[in-house]
Each structure stands twice: as structure tokens, then as C-alpha cells.
Structure 1
Amino acid sequence: ATEPSTAHDTVRAARALCDAGCDLILFAGGDGTARDIYRAVGDAVPVLGVPAGVKMHSGVYAVSPESAAEIVAAMVRGDWVDVSCEEVRDIDEDAFRSGRVSTRYYGELLVPRVGQYLQATKVSGREVEELVVADIAAEVVEQLDDQTLYVVGPGSTTAGIMVELGLDGTLLGVDVVQGGKLIASDVSAEQLEQLCDQHPGDVVIIVTAIGRQGHILGRGNQQISPSVVRRAGPQNLWVVATKSKLSELEGRPLLVDSNDRDLDLSLEGFIRVITGYQDSVLYRVSASGV
């Protein structure tokens, strides 16, 4: 760090934390610091601001330092912690020099927040499975691009994504999609590895959790081998699940058992789980079940 410190130091520190694989970046400051954090990490890692600045127009802050502590404590306990994209805003300096106080939008950070248990589709407090799966599918399809190769694992939740795309996938196997087209269906581990090796761009793996057990890798989707997971990278492992399915785990973590211990340990921590349309939560992943 320089003395006195500069925005460049903030950017370097945030990038170092992100590269080290942290689950959450906590920062104290105002809108200028939020802009620096956004420039460093974008939406690659959840970020929470502790309010300590002169200007705080951004939506990335807890209402108080104590509130920030409550959110972090909830994550540690394994409580429900929603995550959403919140705006980074700062005073428009040009407008300010002209005598007007207005804010300018700079981007969005991924921010954890303690929200209600059910937010989206519900009837008498319970999720309607078919509607929530459709919501999840709509959210995923909205994020797809034509250059990325998508590996879609088995399960009824992931099958909903194939239905949303209008593709005839397999319920119990692994399908490969690119550009809205079914590249291969019910692939073997060897076929999947070849497709990933031949693809020049990014690879994204989309999986769901096995009900009541919580496995996201290594149970029912062994076709997704450790080499495929490494090819995609931890940042491109998308987990989809209804909140009802997560609640069945009764606070137990999601599990990975790829038969590659080093890989499994590298996946431990908190992962974003897509639970509806523009709705997701942070949930813990473990290689040991504890």
C-alpha cells in the first residue's frame, strides 16, 4: 500500500481477496470505495459495505455496522441469506459543479441480505414446485450466451431449463447446449471431456442438488468428471434449486464428492444458488458433510 493510501490500493486489495477465493468481501467506506470495489471485482464475489463514508447513495451497505455483523453471522450459522445485485452510485461531479446534486449509476455489486424465507411464487406460505422451476429456468435462460458451452446435469429442476429452451433433453443424463441448440444428449464422461476440450470458449456446468442429500457433484452426474469441472472453473459452476429443496437439508451443506479430493476442497465455501427469477441465496458447500 502507498501512504497515504489511494483508490489503487483498494482495487489491488479487493482483487487479491477475490483471487484468493474468499466467500465475501466486507469493506468500510462510502460511495467512492464502493466504486473502487466494483471496478476490482464486478459481480465475481459477494460484497457487503459497512457504512463509514461521507457519501452513501449506493445500495450495497448494511443499515448499520451491527446490521452488517448480523448478515455475516447469519451466513456462518447457515441461515437463509439472499443475494441480489445492488446499484453502485456516486455523486455526479459535473452536475455538482453546476450546483445540482444528483447521482450517477456505475454498475452493480452482488450483495448478501437477510430476507424473507419465501419471496417469489408462493401459496399459503409454500412454494408451488412447477411455477418455481419455471421461474428458475427463465432466470437461467436469460443469462445464457451463444459463445459458451453449457453442460446441463440431470434432475427435474435442470430439465425445466431444457423445456424453457424448447429442447428435448434427458431427465437422468447430461446434455450439452450451445447457442440455444442441443449439441449432444445423454453424453458419457469421455464424450463430455472431448466436447469441452474442443470448445474454444467458456464452459458452464449447471447442476441441481439431490433432494434431502444435497449432493451437487458425484451423485447421479458422474459424467461430469473432475477434468470437466476444472475446465469450467469454480466460477462457472451454476447451482439451481428450489428453496423447498434446500429447506429439506435442514441447514446441512451442499456436498461435492467428485473422487478428486483436492478439487472437492477447492469448491468448499459459499456458492450462489439460483432459487427463482432474479432470486438467489448463498449456501455453503462442503466436501466432508460438516
Structure 2
Amino acid sequence: MDDSRRAPEGVDPTIPNIARMYDYYLGGKDNFAADREAAEKMLAIGRQMGNDGREVARENRGFLRRAVRHLAESGITQFVDIGAGLPTQENVHQVARRHAPGSRVVYVDNDPVVLTHARALLADNPETIVAAGDLRDPDAVFDDPGVRAHIDFTRPFAVLLVSVLHFVTDDEDADRITARIRERMVPGCHLVLSHIRTNDEVAEEAVVESKKVYAATSSGGLVGRPFKRIESFFDGLEILEPGLVPVQAWRPDVPWDVPVDMDRTGIFGAVGRMP
């Protein structure tokens, strides 16, 4: 079936979408030809830099899974996943409920394809809801009546910003978003965040080509940030051990026997707690 017939009303399948590209990296089938073409361009750029883009996506997903598991085992039973993307294996609600039965989850996204698929998947799951919302307006997410009916914001909850903030290309916007989210937190809340980390040694040509690919997507762009900038998104929070590290080195399921290169590029992640 051609993409124009598969696409929900209001979705242009000729414009690449970051959620559907990520779905493609993870081996999913909820993507269109434009998404696959853009994703393949990024995979080729990654290979030139010595990276396997599909493996990076899997490592990032593993970080999310381990972070949610840790929080659920620590007593957190409320999760707000902003920029959730398309449903895949080991979703937040599956991991949370496995380790803390009764956990309540809100998935937030602004993509009609994501919302359609997520609502269909979760139709019979009263402990998990899907809400339309935009990362750039966190107050609208927290003040959404459906979200407020599902999450008790007077009790500890976790906010997940997993591989989404690097699509906010303006530094002031990124600072404003994360600051406002922290302001809405109560003691015991947690922020789970992963972000593309860059340094001065990254080939300028690769950076330029990557930006071109993502500039043509519905997100409008991509920006990697240096270590200290990413770390600043946790200002006022206690960053849990092992700190801000490459996502595959964050509390791995098996002993990590590869030296952690803190100067490497890639996706870095951390979990912060509001004291």
C-alpha cells in the first residue's frame, strides 16, 4: 500500500519524521519511504564516523529501560514520557509495571502518527494514557486536564526526556524547557534525560550533513551539545551514580568491561533527583 493511503489524516508521509526514523533504526515497520531514506542517510554518516546508528538507538533504548526499572524498584510509580515516540518493545509502562505493579504512565507526543498508534496499543490499559503535547510547552503538558487526572503531581513522579531535547536547537529554549520542568517537580521527583554529546573533534562535514538531514524533518533540526551544557539541564538536581555517561555505561545489566571514554561523541544520559 502506498504511503499516502497508510498515513493518518493530516500527516504528510513525504516529510521525514524523527519518531518514525527512530522506529526504523530499531527495526520497526511504522515508517514511510521518506523516513527510511532520511534514516539511511544518517546511518551512512554514522558509519563514516565509526558509529553504528542502529546500535546507538538500541543502547539508548536500553538506557531508558534500565532507568525506569531502577526508579520503579525505588518506589516511583508515576511516569511522564515527553516525546515518547512510537511504541516498541520494552515501553515505559511495561517496564514500570513489571517492577512496580499499578504504575501510572503518560505518553506525550505531538505527532499524529505516534498518537494514533499509541492509543490503539493502549486502548485496554487504564493505567496508561496518551496525551497530545509539545516539549516546548511543558506547562501545557502538566496542566492538561487528562494528565492531571492521571498523575498526582503532589507526589513524586519521573519525567523522561530521552533523546528528544537535541531536537530543540535553540539553547535558550532548551534551558527554559528544562528549568520549567524542574520547577514543577516536588521532592523525590526524577528527571531521566539522554542527549547527543559532541566535541571539537567531530568532523565538521559530518555535523553539517547531519544537520541537513534533520533540517528537512518535521522536527526542523538537530543539535549536539557539549558535556557541560547537557549537565546543566540537571541544575538543582542530585545526579545519581554513575553520573552523566555514555548511555551504554549507565548501570549496565552486565559488567561494563570497556573503558568509559568521557571525551567521545554519542548519546550521554543521566538520572537526576529533586532533593
TM-score over 0.5 (shorter chain) = no
Structure-1-length-normalised TM-score: 0.29
Structure with greater proportional strand content? 1
Structure with greater proportional helix content? 2
Relative contact order, CA 8 A, sep 6+: which one is greater? 2
Q: Which structure: larger Rg?
A: 1
Structure-2-length-normalised TM-score: 0.30
